[in-house]
Amino acid sequence: MTLSHEILAQRVRESIAAAGLTQQELAEAVGISPSALSRALAGKRNFKSLEIALIADHLGVSVEDLLESETASGSEAKIAARAQEGASPAIRTAIDRADLLLRHDRLLTDLGAPADGGFMDVTIPEGAPHEQGEGLARALRDRMGLGFDDLPAELNAFASLLEQKLGVNVAFESFQEGLDGLCVSRDAFRLILVSSRVAATRQRYTLAHELGHLVAGDSQDIKVDENVWGVKTPMETRANAFAAAFLMPAETLRETVREEGICDASVAKLLGRLRVSLDALSFRLHNIGAVNAEGRDRIRAMSSNAIYLRAGRASDLQARNDRRVPMPLLSRSMKSFVHGDIGVRPLADLVGMDPGELLEELSPPSKVASNAASEEMIPVL
């Protein structure tokens, strides 16, 4: 439900009082005529988007707080409830970040820029949880037009593929130890948040694991995974099976084993192509029947130079502690900023920058500065 003008006016009046200002002082500070502000607060005219941004900035509140939907408090309360006292700092920080992104999505939605609802839903097949996960992965790959093709090797490219094909928002943050990832779905907005503190192969597996939760509909509120391999509930088993099948299609593995067998070179080749861990690959090969238990354990014990120097190893090592902002959400925000619907502060909160620095970065160079720079480039003859 869209925020009513009466509720918005009430929130602005309360924020003015909390800041210890008069309506006259606020109007002068943000460049609005006192009569225009008075009419808006009395419900005789609508606030303009830029006015809301200026008012929020001067009063020290967020635009999201002023424009929060009247029906949104329930979902926010559910999210906050997951960060109970005693939860690890990583979980609390991650939920705070997810909360900010959800609030930002709601702000843009209320301003007429909703999320793209292009998520490709697939039906959960019958069977045990691991069979459901396998079936979901195959169905989603088919819907995305991937077949058995390898997924993009680099994490950012993998995330971009999911955003472009599915409309999922993917973020990476360097959280403290104690969290692998989380996902949440609200209306058309779907978010996956992955900790980049761990190895790139684990980040990749976590991203696929959280996608499995979204595809299965496990995250209508919020789903937090402290350890994607540590819980054996049916829901987690299904998400793990989905991740393994989505990242490592059985057909790809069987073809490699059939043509090249199992040796240091073939295993290193698969690790370079699929960008998974040695453990994940060995268990997947065993689970699809490509190797027996003895072969699985032999693969897990491999430590040759071919394994250590596999393709992509260097870039994987550099992927730790990376930060990535969800591109669909950022794109919506930039359009709203350019159109004057939001100020710089919500955009700065999204990208994690100081508002002043971001505004300076987004502002075009002054004419004087441009002329001076041009003159400096003219050679002296």
Distance CA 381, CA 157 (A): 49
Q: What SS3 state is found at 185? A: strand
Helix (H, G, I), strand (E, B) or coil at 220: coil
pLDDT at 78: 36
Instruction: Tell me the whole-structure pTM to 2 decimals.
Output: 0.77
Q: Which residues contact 303 (CB under 8 A, 6 or more apart)?
A: none
Task: Summarize pLDDT for 324-353 with one digit per residue, the tens.
Answer: 999 999 999 999 999 888 888 889 999 999
Q: Do residues 8 and 110 lie in contact, with contact meaning Cβ atoms separated by under 8 Å?
A: no
Dist CA 267 CA 240 (whole Å): 21
**pLDDT of the residue at 81:** 33
Given this model, what pLDDT does residue 3 score? 64
What does the pLDDT look like over 260-277, one tens digit per residue?
Answer: 999 999 999 999 999 999
Share of the chain above pLDDT 70, in %: 89
Q: Which two tokens stand for residue 126?
A: 């019958």
Compute the distance between CA of residue 245 and CA of residue 201 in angstroms, rounded to an integer: 15
| CA atoms of 94 and 96, how far apart (whole Å) | 5
The overall longest dimension of the chain from CA atoms, in Å, is 81
| 274: phi then psi, degrees, rounded to nearest 5 | -95, -15
CB-CB contact of 163 with 170 (8 Å): yes
Q: Which three-class secondary structure state does DSSP give residue 321? A: coil
Per the CB < 8 A criterion, the answer to whether 335 and 113 are in contact is yes
Strand residue runs (E) in the chain: 169-173, 181-186, 189-195, 223-225
CA 312 to chain centre: 24
Among the listed ranges 59-73, 156-170, 216-230, 302-316, which one has the minimum average pLDDT value?
Answer: 59-73
Residue 168: pLDDT above 90? yes
Whole-angstrom Cα distance, residue 69 to residue 267?
A: 52
d(CA 105, CA 99): 10
Whether the per-residue pLDDT at 50 is higher than 60: the answer is yes
CB atoms within 10 A of CB 206: 27
- Report the pLDDT value the prediction gives residue 231, as an integer from 0 to 100: 66
